[in-house]
A and B are shown apart, each in its own frame.
Chain A
Amino acid sequence: MLFSFLRGCRAFFVISIAASVLASLCELVIPKIISYTIDVGLGDVPFYVPAPFAWAENFLGSLGTARALALFAGLILAIAVLMGCCKYLENVFNRKGAETLVENMRNRLYEHIGRLPFAWYMKNQTGDIIQRCTSDVETVKAFLSEQLTSVVSTTLLIGMSLGFMFGINTTLACIALVSIPIVIAYSAFFHGKIGARFQYCDENEGKLSSIVQENLTGVRVVRAFGREKYEVDKFTVQNNVYCDAWVKLSRLMSLFWAAGDLISGLQVMIILVVGAVLCVDGSLTTGDFIAIVSYNSMLTWPVRSLGRVISEMSKTGVSIGRIGEIMAAEAEQDVSGAVDADMDGDIVFDHVSFGYDESAKILHDVSLEIKKGSTVGILGMTGSGKSTLVSLLCRLYDLPEDGGKITLAGRDIREIKASSLRKNIGIVLQEPFLFSRTLRENIGMTFDDVGANEAAITEAARAACLDETIRNFTNGYETTVGERGVTLSGGQKQRTAIARLLASAPPVMIFDDSLSAVDSETDAKIRAALREKTADSTVILISHRIQTLMSADKIVVMAGGRITESGTHEELLRAGGIYKKINDIQTGLPEEIAQERG
């Protein structure tokens, strides 16, 4: 999986590493030049150049000291500029790689999550999914773009500088070499060890954080019961525990750094002393001595950070696993040979039984025929399975094999492409969801080009009794809703969702208790507009209000996951069942209240 995310960014990382190697090479050449300058330009070592450059020998000899110095200084500058360019490329390409990687990961996660079946959303917690898509993605990015590349380039740097050192003097190079594994091992061991302590600190931070969180969300309770002192005491205790945990950890950290400093300090000292001895001995030139000291100091930091990086890399596995779980979840998929929806026909629920989990069935053997172009009303109490019924029709959930079937124009909806089915069946949910975009964009959500459909949007808003409300906002249709914009009331949200449905005008429209938060005056107005707008559409109305349902061509009554009565308003009244009873209660309302009065 990791490799598939790397597609398109591997080249960037390779270039970045190559640039970093080149930069290191430049960096390593400079001490060599200084050493040469000191020995040859200033000291008494005779001019020498490697065999292929023998032609340069005379040239150098002819320059004279001052000019040779200027030449070397210029050479250093030139190399420094080259090195700077390499470092720049290293930085930019590494970041390009990292950002391409993250972009890939995010886009693919987003796309994949969008394709997952609705049941998956019900099983997983939003916060957890988001964490996987954000901080776990960051961890993986850090692993590939920082840790992995730094391990590669540091290893190369260590290798190369050791190479240079060995080229100068074996004894000193060996001293430097010996200390490297010690420092890396020590630092990796320490960072691994300290992980538990970090976790302890994090846990305590979590506890402290939730005390604050609970205090703030429960501020009314705290105040109303006058328990401020108790809260403060509780907080203080945990605050101290948290603080002490960190102080203890940082004492450990300071000691760790000190030990690291000691090791590298001693190493520098040994190199200095041994180097001096070798110089006096005559087996090392002054310039080489200075070069070796430079190489050694160049190694100190990369080596020390390598240990930390190695120990941090182990944490990445967890994040990769957590992202992998999302990517492995099975996406919604149409069966092979799935066709576009043929809307020229009736919708039939044929002995449908369904439950979200095996043990509790929500629908029991429901059969219902919805004629094309007709309006069907569903009356039922809270939790009777009305919403489940329409969720099944939109294939938010798929019926199990033995759960009967739902057909559209004679074809099992499982054989129809989900996208085609849903495009043709619009639904207004009981608790509608609006996007944090402008009202115009929200209503025109199903249009590819919102600007080109302005008339349809305004028209839909008017039908949903929303146009006037929107025009009263300062920004009108450009008002952004949601977290970053205005908060709409429940009724306004429902009306926006209705307008959204009307704007897209699908052949089948479902209103799932969609006017529950709208006052009865507006309710009546919207219903009148709807009748006009939906004349040619198949409409499914879910409500507990007889008035909303009575003009439907067919009304079914649902109780306990079963259809208990069905017929037109008049038929149901004649049948004298629950429907009639409820009708009597609702139409008889004023009298009953009058009685109460009396």
Chain B
Amino acid sequence: MDETNTKITHLKLFGIPRLLPHLKAHAPMMVIMILLGIAGSAVDIVFPKYQEYAINHFIGGNTLDTIVPFIVTYAMFLILKIIFDVNSTFMASKIEMYIGRDLKKKTFDHLQTLSFSYFNRNSVGYVHARVMSDTGRIGTLVSWYLMDCVWNITYMVGALAVMLRTNWKLTLIVLIVIPIVTTIVALMQKKLTDANRRIREMNSKITGSFNEGITGAKTVKTLVTEDKMLRRFTGETEEMKKISVSEARYRGILWTSLTAASYIALALVLHRGGVLNVDGVMALGTLSLFMSYSMGIMQPIRWIVSSLSQLITVQVNIERLTGLLETESDVADSAEVIAKYGDMFEPKRENWEELQGDIEFENVSFKYPDGDEYVLRDFSLKIPHGTNVAIVGETGAGKSTLVNLVCRFFEPTSGRLLIDGRDARERSQLWLHSNIGYVLQTPHLFSGTIRDNLKYGAPDATDEEIMAALETVSAAGIIEKSEKGLDTEVGEGGDLLSTGEKQLLSFARAILCQPKILVLDEATSSIDTFTEQLIQNAIEKVIAGRTTFMIAHRLSTVRNADIILVVRDGVIVESGTHKELIAKRGYYYSLYTRQYEREATDSAFAGAFAEKK
């Protein structure tokens, strides 16, 4: 999606001023690069002079008297040019990489402080592209655009200066070509930019169609709509071809007119210069010098005009990235809190109070920052420590809202969340998070070893503690089964393990940090009954004595909860104990019976199966 954004943004000076604060650190290197570039380009201007000299002096004078100094100085200039070029290009690459690196780090660091409303609004793919590709593109733009600017402008200015000094009338004749070239390039460039944008859009459409054809294969086959799908697809590829060819036409016209323009310049020089030569005003060598320069300055002119389109395209990246960097977290610790408890990167643990686990919602109203409707209105609920809260509702009904507030992933729009009787905002986020254990429905493991993952929330845990935690959740079997034990690699996202194993490990990870508050998001996906039993036992063990919030699906978990909150369409519609809610015969009752049917059917089958065996 993000790469195909069809809007062209217009920023002041292409957004460069917004980047400046991030580039300061590299200013000295840039200055050196610019100087080296100017020097290299200046040397480049010298070489046609050698050709002139060879023609005017050696050939014209029919002598070889200065041939040795000619060779020596030429070689010297050549070496000089190479030294300048090596260093300036290397410098440019370095600046490119350093800017990219620093921007990446800034962005990544900043992301760690942003609140969940940011992550809810922006997809992982979008944010990932900001960190990984925008930063790189900006680095490339800043360093190489600058480098090219220096080279081209120096060359053009230098060449023009030499030409003007040699013969200003002839130079002015050559310059007639410039406005023509500029107009053509500018006209075509706009069309090219447009066409290229459409090509990008079409490209992602085609990729999308491939994706749809593959992921929807079963449906396409059973509906027998292969032909219809193919028709649409060939329509898309044909459209793509059309746009691409028209892009080639614009490009062709651009190139053709540029070539023609440079030869117009050449022809003008040859004609006017020839006349001057016959008149004895201009030597042949000088004429050839003019021809070289007048062809040579076409490239810089082309570059200057066409590079504008580069700036236009990168604007989008600049805007998105600086936008990210300027986004402020809507859940931020106040200055006083940071002063006392430290921030994310430098916590002052010595000042942290012990957390009990009493939680109270006091007249909390809440709407998501990107939503219009309140999902909580004047909600009050006291949850003494050790209480087991179950949250039930259909998929997508908004069961995570309360959990999000308790974890301070979001702040209440109005009202207060009290932790141990004090407003949550009086203590740092890290303090709270260090006391929370979190088990996700789709357990998220990081690539690395099992040990790395288990120690994620408790970096100082010893192997004994780890094994004890694994024992508690009956996951020690996973370790015994693996050859390398705790050092077994789990693969990217833990993909080398089964879902059940990942679940159990994330339980162990959560209890290793001895949390006072536990958040569980129960899995809906079917895992084999044995693992399910293990997980069930694990849940019972880990919730004992802790304030627990469970997004629950299993009847047993729900039934045993101290309080059940029932969510429908994002709003808490019922609350109470299981008995109370059943008696009410409301929404909970219908949810419960439906779930009951499914579980009862499966267990009846399982029972019948066991009898047979």
* A212 touching B271 in the complex, CB below 8 Å, given contacts A95-B248, A228-B113: no
Neighbouring B residues of A95 by C-beta, 8 Å? 244-245, 247-248
The 8 Å CB contact of B271, one of A43, A69, A106, A121, is: A69
Q: Are B224 and A265 in contact (CB under 8 A)?
A: no
Looking at the assembled complex, report how far the CB atom of A581 sits from the nearest CB atom of chain B, in whole angstroms.
5
Contact with B along A117-139 (1 / 0, CB 8 A): 01001000010011001100000
Neighbouring A residues of B605 by C-beta, 8 Å? 380-381, 384, 559, 578, 582
Q: Are A70 and B271 in contact (CB under 8 A)?
A: yes
Q: Are A84 and B256 in contact (CB under 8 A)?
A: yes
Q: Are A42 and B71 in contact (CB under 8 A)?
A: no
Q: Quick check: is A419 within 8 A (CB to CB) of the other chain?
A: yes
Segment among B10-18, B207-215, B354-362, B376-384 that sits at the interface with chain A = B207-215
Looking at the assembled complex, report how far the CB atom of B309 sits from the nearest CB atom of chain A, in whole angstroms.
18
Q: Quick check: is A335 within 8 A (CB to CB) of the other chain?
A: no
Q: Are B409 and A223 in contact (CB under 8 A)?
A: yes
A293 to B285: give the CA distance in the assembly, Å.
12
Segment among B156-164, B227-235, B319-327, B466-474 that sits at the interface with chain A = B227-235
Q: Are A578 and B128 in contact (CB under 8 A)?
A: no
The 8 Å CB contact of A87, one of B233, B255, B444, B509, is: B255
Q: Are B608 and A227 in contact (CB under 8 A)?
A: no
Q: Quick check: is A310 within 8 A (CB to CB) of the other chain?
A: no
A74 to B271: give the CA distance in the assembly, Å.
9
* A226 touching B267 in the complex, CB below 8 Å, given contacts A273-B67, A286-B284, A289-B59: no
A148 to B592: give the CA distance in the assembly, Å.
67
Q: Are B438 and A224 in contact (CB under 8 A)?
A: yes
Q: Are B223 and A504 in contact (CB under 8 A)?
A: yes
Q: Are A232 and B226 in contact (CB under 8 A)?
A: no
Contact with B along A28-47 (1 / 0, CB 8 A): 00100010011001110000
Q: Quick check: is A453 within 8 A (CB to CB) of the other chain?
A: no
Q: Are A289 and B260 in contact (CB under 8 A)?
A: no
Q: Quick check: is B6 within 8 A (CB to CB) of the other chain?
A: no
Chain A residues numbered 574-589 whose CB sits less than 8 Å from any CB in chain B: 577-578, 581-582, 585-586, 589
Neighbouring B residues of A456 by C-beta, 8 Å? none
* A34 touching B51 in the complex, CB below 8 Å, given contacts A220-B440, A254-B89, A280-B58: no
Chain B residues numbered 468-516 whose CB sits less than 8 Å from any CB in chain A: 492-493, 509, 513
Chain B residues numbered 564-597 whose CB sits less than 8 Å from any CB in chain A: 578-579, 582-583, 589-590, 592-594, 596-597
Closest B residue to A590 by beta carbon equals: B593
Looking at the assembled complex, report how far the CB atom of A377 sits from the nearest CB atom of chain B, in whole angstroms.
13
The 8 Å CB contact of A84, one of B67, B259, B275, is: B259
Q: Quick check: is A560 within 8 A (CB to CB) of the other chain?
A: yes
Q: Are B270 and A76 in contact (CB under 8 A)?
A: yes
Q: Are A225 and B210 in contact (CB under 8 A)?
A: no
Q: Quick check: is B414 within 8 A (CB to CB) of the other chain?
A: no
A107 to B233: give the CA distance in the assembly, Å.
7
Contact with A along B105-116 (1 / 0, CB 8 A): 100110111001
Contact with B along A94-111 (1 / 0, CB 8 A): 111011101100110011
Q: Are A235 and B438 in contact (CB under 8 A)?
A: no
Closest B residue to A121 by beta carbon equals: B217
Looking at the assembled complex, report how far the CB atom of B270 sits from the nearest CB atom of chain A, in whole angstroms.
5
Closest A residue to B278 by beta carbon equals: A65
Q: Quick check: is A409 within 8 A (CB to CB) of the other chain?
A: no
Q: Are B245 and A92 in contact (CB under 8 A)?
A: yes
Closest A residue to B409 by beta carbon equals: A223
A214 to B127: give the CA distance in the assembly, Å.
12
Looking at the assembled complex, report how far the CB atom of A207 sits from the nearest CB atom of chain B, in whole angstroms.
9
Neighbouring B residues of A73 by C-beta, 8 Å? 267-268, 270-271, 274
The 8 Å CB contact of B267, one of A76, A235, A384, A396, is: A76
Looking at the assembled complex, report how far the CB atom of A516 sits from the nearest CB atom of chain B, in whole angstroms.
8
Q: Quick check: is B531 within 8 A (CB to CB) of the other chain?
A: no
Q: Are A593 and B582 in contact (CB under 8 A)?
A: yes
Looking at the assembled complex, report how far the CB atom of B44 sits from the nearest CB atom of chain A, in whole angstroms.
11
The 8 Å CB contact of B590, one of A81, A223, A520, is: A520
Looking at the assembled complex, report how far the CB atom of B250 sits from the nearest CB atom of chain A, in whole angstroms.
10
Q: Are B105 and A596 in contact (CB under 8 A)?
A: no
Q: Are A597 and B583 in contact (CB under 8 A)?
A: yes
Q: Quick check: is B219 within 8 A (CB to CB) of the other chain?
A: yes
Q: Quick check: is A322 within 8 A (CB to CB) of the other chain?
A: no
Chain B residues numbered 56-76 whose CB sits less than 8 Å from any CB in chain A: 58-60, 62-64, 67, 70-71, 74-75
Q: Are B220 and A593 in contact (CB under 8 A)?
A: no
Contact with B along A217-231 (1 / 0, CB 8 A): 111111111111111
* A110 touching B446 in the complex, CB below 8 Å, given contacts A235-B105, A261-B82: no
Q: Are B433 and A593 in contact (CB under 8 A)?
A: no
Neighbouring B residues of A423 by C-beta, 8 Å? 224
Closest B residue to A557 by beta carbon equals: B605
> Chain B: how many interface residues by the 8 Å CB criterion?
152
Q: Quick check: is B305 within 8 A (CB to CB) of the other chain?
A: no
Q: Are B128 and A212 in contact (CB under 8 A)?
A: yes
Q: Are A210 and B219 in contact (CB under 8 A)?
A: no
The 8 Å CB contact of B579, one of A293, A519, A596, is: A596
Looking at the assembled complex, report how far the CB atom of B50 sits from the nearest CB atom of chain A, in whole angstroms.
6
Neighbouring A residues of B579 by C-beta, 8 Å? 596-597
Segment among B95-103, B363-371, B539-547 that sits at the interface with chain A = B95-103
Chain A residues numbered 245-286 whose CB sits less than 8 Å from any CB in chain B: 246-247, 250-251, 253-255, 257-258, 261-262, 265-266, 268-269, 272-273, 275-277, 279-280, 286
Closest A residue to B597 by beta carbon equals: A586
Neighbouring B residues of A133 by C-beta, 8 Å? 207, 210
Q: Are B237 and A103 in contact (CB under 8 A)?
A: yes
Closest A residue to B78 by beta carbon equals: A265
Q: Quick check: is B238 within 8 A (CB to CB) of the other chain?
A: yes
Q: Are A236 and B75 in contact (CB under 8 A)?
A: no
The 8 Å CB contact of B222, one of A98, A114, A396, is: A396
Q: Are A279 and B58 in contact (CB under 8 A)?
A: yes
A220 to B109: give the CA distance in the assembly, Å.
16
Q: Are A222 and B218 in contact (CB under 8 A)?
A: no
Chain A residues numbered 33-67 whose CB sits less than 8 Å from any CB in chain B: 34, 37-38, 41-43, 65-66
The 8 Å CB contact of A578, one of B50, B240, B513, B608, is: B608
Looking at the assembled complex, report how far the CB atom of B252 sits from the nearest CB atom of chain A, in whole angstroms.
4
Neighbouring B residues of A266 by C-beta, 8 Å? 75, 78
Q: Quick check: is B182 within 8 A (CB to CB) of the other chain?
A: no
Q: Are A218 and B604 in contact (CB under 8 A)?
A: no
Segment among A353-361, A424-432, A469-477 that sits at the interface with chain B = A424-432
Neighbouring A residues of B263 by C-beta, 8 Å? 30, 76-77, 79-80, 83
Chain B residues numbered 275-304 whose CB sits less than 8 Å from any CB in chain A: 275, 277-278, 284, 287-288, 291
Neighbouring B residues of A262 by C-beta, 8 Å? 78-79, 82
A383 to B609: give the CA distance in the assembly, Å.
13
Q: Are B255 and A91 in contact (CB under 8 A)?
A: yes
Neighbouring A residues of B459 by C-beta, 8 Å? 230
Chain A residues numbered 341-394 whose CB sits less than 8 Å from any CB in chain B: 379-384, 394
The 8 Å CB contact of A581, one of B244, B583, B608, is: B608
Q: Are B252 and A91 in contact (CB under 8 A)?
A: yes
A98 to B105: give the CA distance in the assembly, Å.
40
Most buried by B among A43, A83, A92, A448: A92
Q: Are A221 and B89 in contact (CB under 8 A)?
A: no
Neighbouring A residues of B249 by C-beta, 8 Å? 92
Closest A residue to B74 by beta carbon equals: A269
Q: Quick check: is B526 within 8 A (CB to CB) of the other chain?
A: yes
Q: Are A38 and B216 in contact (CB under 8 A)?
A: no
Looking at the assembled complex, report how far the CB atom of B375 sits from the nearest CB atom of chain A, in whole angstroms.
16
The 8 Å CB contact of A243, one of B98, B222, B519, is: B98
Interchain residue pairs A-B with the least CB separation, the first 6: A80-B263, A250-B93, A95-B248, A224-B438, A226-B433, A225-B457
Given contacts A77-B263, A107-B230, A382-B602, 9 further A-B contacts (CB under 8 A): A41-B274, A65-B274, A99-B245, A107-B234, A134-B203, A216-B124, A277-B67, A396-B221, A593-B596
Instruction: Jot down 16 A-B pairs with beta carbons below 8 A, ordered by A.
Output: A74-B267, A76-B267, A84-B257, A121-B217, A133-B210, A217-B444, A225-B456, A242-B101, A247-B93, A250-B89, A276-B67, A419-B224, A433-B215, A489-B395, A504-B223, A517-B394
